[in-house]
Amino acid sequence: MPTNLPVEWSLVEKEYQSAKTLEEKIATLKKLISVTPKHKGTEHLLGDLRKRLAKLEDQLERRSKKTGRKVETIKKTADIFVPIIGLTQSGKSTLMKSLTNAPVEISSKPYTTRESVTGVRFFEGVDMQFVEIPSFFLRKDMDIARNADVIVVMTRDERDLKKIQEVVRQNKLEGKKIIVTNIGKPYEELLHEIINKIDVVRVFTKPVGKKAAEKAVVLKKGSAMKNLVKRINESWLKNFKFARIFDDTEFSGRRVGLNYLLKDRDVVEIHSG
């Protein structure tokens, strides 16, 4: 074994040796690989560690096949999809619980959350679907993060951030919209940040003479009235006469046509004959 390994290496190595479950072994072995310096003197060691990792991942795959349980993967069912990733004990379950009241266990024991968990929070007209991703960073869980509209990254400090950046790179998630945060931040602020990060407009439809809907229709930024009408009911397109827009401008209540560009928070009254 090379002798010039950093102190951190031996600490992580101990963690790996005392890992009990297969998932924990995989997670700590990945960590061990990431803290191993990469140079000529560590080539053999890294090779061994990677081989061991491949073996453990095979075992995990075989085990899930054998149990025959149909593992349902979590899919986007709400307006926006927000996976939460972070190292163990970074406060993911705490955040999940307070935002969505999902059945997660908050614990001072590492790696308590073993399966991805989802829950929905209604905020300012939008159903926001959060998913806690376990800190083993297994392929099947990271695949869920691939469908993110925004990824929330929980960190406690700069060291956490560096490690999680490596996880993001290894799983090829750099192209995703990412918000780095910690549990000290007020939840409202985080929810606003998420809405601002995604390029959408929230439009509230309103029947004539009635109040606007509580729930927004969520459309891509740059969407026109025709996209909204199509989304609600395609058949209305040919009978569309005009729509009224209610907003906080002096022109509130004005009539617009199908090419009108929708703004965030527009209240829309569609008139079709």
**Distance from C-alpha of 1 to C-alpha of 29, rounded to nearest angstrom:** 16
Residues 81-110 that bind Mg ion (CB under 5 A): 92-93
**Distance from C-alpha of 19 to C-alpha of 16, rounded to nearest angstrom:** 5
93 near ligand GDP (CB under 6 A): yes
Binding mask 68-87 for ligand GDP (x = CB under 6 A): ------------------x-
Applying CB under 6 A, the site for ligand GDP has a residue count of: 15
- Minimum distance, C-beta of residue 194 to ligand GDP, in the bound complex (Å): 18
Tell me if residue 245 falls in helix, strand or coil. Answer: strand
Binding mask 33-72 for Mg ion (x = CB under 5 A): ----------------------------------------
Q: Which does 134 bind (CB under 5 to 8 A by kind): ligand GDP, Mg ion, none?
A: none
- Token pair for 32: 């061990």
107 near ligand GDP (CB under 6 A): yes
DSSP notation for 69-137 = ---PPP---SSEEEEEEESTTSSHHHHHHHHH--S----SSTT---S-EEEEEEETTEEEEEEEPPTT-
- Minimum distance, C-beta of residue 136 to ligand GDP, in the bound complex (Å): 11
Query: How is the chain split among helix, strand and coil, in percent rounded to 5?
Result: 40, 20, 40
Which residues make beta-bridge pairs with 103? none
How far is residue 127 from each of residues 43, 81, 168, 236, measured CA to CA in Å? 48, 9, 25, 25
202 near ligand GDP (CB under 6 A): no
- Token pair for 165: 């950046």
What sign for the dihedral angle of Cα 226, 231, 234, 240?
negative
100 near ligand GDP (CB under 6 A): no
- Which element (helix H / strand E) includes 244? strand 240-246
- Minimum distance, C-beta of residue 72 to ligand GDP, in the bound complex (Å): 21
* Residue 233: HSE in the Cβ half-sphere, 13 Å Cα cutoff: 9
181 near ligand GDP (CB under 6 A): no
- Minimum distance, C-beta of residue 38 to ligand GDP, in the bound complex (Å): 28
Residue closer to ligand GDP (CB basis): 83 or 91 = 91
Which one of residues 25, 30, 31, 92 is an interface residue with ligand GDP (CB under 6 A)?
92
Residue closer to ligand GDP (CB basis): 92 or 202 = 92
Residue closer to Mg ion (CB basis): 113 or 205 = 113
224 near ligand GDP (CB under 6 A): no
- Minimum distance, C-beta of residue 120 to ligand GDP, in the bound complex (Å): 18
**Distance from C-alpha of 206 to C-alpha of 194, rounded to nearest angstrom:** 26
90 near ligand GDP (CB under 6 A): yes
- Minimum distance, C-beta of residue 198 to Mg ion, in the bound complex (Å): 24
Q: Sort strands 200-205 and 217-220 into parallel, antiparallel or unpaired.
A: antiparallel
The residue ranges that bind Mg ion (CB under 5 A) are 92-93, 113
The residue ranges that bind ligand GDP (CB under 6 A) are 86, 88-94, 106-108, 112-113, 183-184
